[in-house]
Chain A
Amino acid sequence: QKEVEQDPGPLSVPEGAIVSLNCTYSNSAFQYFMWYRQYSRKGPELLMYTYSSGNKEDGRFTAQVDKSSKYISLFIRDSQPSDSATYLCAFLSGNQFYFGTGTSLTVIP
């Protein structure tokens, strides 16, 4: 079983839609739960991070962590064409980052 599983997509939605991106993990030692956004030909940039179960909201973005089910989600409300990118879930355990494979999202105007 892989430590991190992420549906690669691609996902295509109309502008204004609610987007749900998900990852599952198997390592109970993960301490931080993160979402990165990666535009084409750019490095990943941190979107949100949390270290506890529950929801964390930042503008149109909500990160959700369920440690009991080992499942994290990122919700994007009122999606915009500028949200078109690859979204990577990431986890931190000790000194080591673990990345998902990324989900490619396209928001169609």
Chain B
Amino acid sequence: EAGVAQSPRYKIIEKRQSVAFWCNPISGHATLYWYQQILGQGPKLLIQFQNNGVVDDSQLPKDRFSAERLKGVDSTLKIQPAKLEDSAVYLCASSLAGPSPMSYTFGSGTRLTVV
């Protein structure tokens, strides 16, 4: 079974620039999550999709972050404009249906550095 695919692996941008990350979940997984993991901290949920609908985006800074999951499969997360404090690893995770520990799988993440 292929894992959760994310790209790019690394990205360095200047503050105020925009950036986009891509995630392809495990085939058949209805639920998709984006997390932000700042160095030395645990992952923090940004947004959760069930198929192509948003379940929870309460911690997404909507003035600069946006995410979409068209067709209920892959997803993109965008930051515009980026700030220095956005430097972090952005993790995508997926699960069969809802937050089941057994099927919950993380990708390797995209490491973003804002300079």
A contact residues vs B (CB 8 Å cutoff): 4, 6, 8, 32, 34, 41-46, 49, 88, 90, 92, 95-97, 99-102
Q: Are A101 and B56 in contact (CB under 8 A)?
A: no
Interfacial chain A residues near B93, Cβ < 8 Å: 43
CB distance from A37 to the nearest CB of B (A): 11
Chain A CB within 8 A of B72 CB: no
B contact residues vs A (CB 8 Å cutoff): 4, 40-45, 48, 55-56, 91, 93, 98-99, 101-102, 104-109, 111
Using CB atoms, name the residue of chain B closest to A89. B42
Q: Which of A46, A92, A102 contacts B42 (CB 8 A)?
A: A102
Sample (6) of A-B pairs whose CB atoms are under 8 Å apart: A41-B109, A41-B111, A42-B109, A43-B106, A46-B104, A92-B99
CB distance from A12 to the nearest CB of B (A): 17
Q: Are B101 and A88 in contact (CB under 8 A)?
A: no
Interfacial chain A residues near B101, Cβ < 8 Å: 32, 34, 46, 49, 92
Q: Are B91 and A43 in contact (CB under 8 A)?
A: yes
Q: Are B91 and A97 in contact (CB under 8 A)?
A: no
Chain A interface main SS type? strand
Most chain B CB inside 10 Å of its own CB: which residue of A6, A43, A44, A92 = A43
Q: A43-B91, A96-B56, A99-B42 are in contact. List 4 more A-B contacts (CB 8 A).
A: A41-B108, A42-B108, A46-B101, A95-B48
Q: Are A8 and B40 in contact (CB under 8 A)?
A: yes
Interfacial chain A residues near B105, Cβ < 8 Å: 46
Q: Are A43 and B55 in contact (CB under 8 A)?
A: no
CB distance from A36 to the nearest CB of B (A): 8
Interfacial chain A residues near B104, Cβ < 8 Å: 46, 97
Q: Which of B41, B99, B107 contacts A95 (CB 8 A)?
A: B99
Using CB atoms, name the residue of chain B closest to A95. B99
- Within the assembled complex, what's the spacing in Å between the Cα atoms of A95 and B99? 6
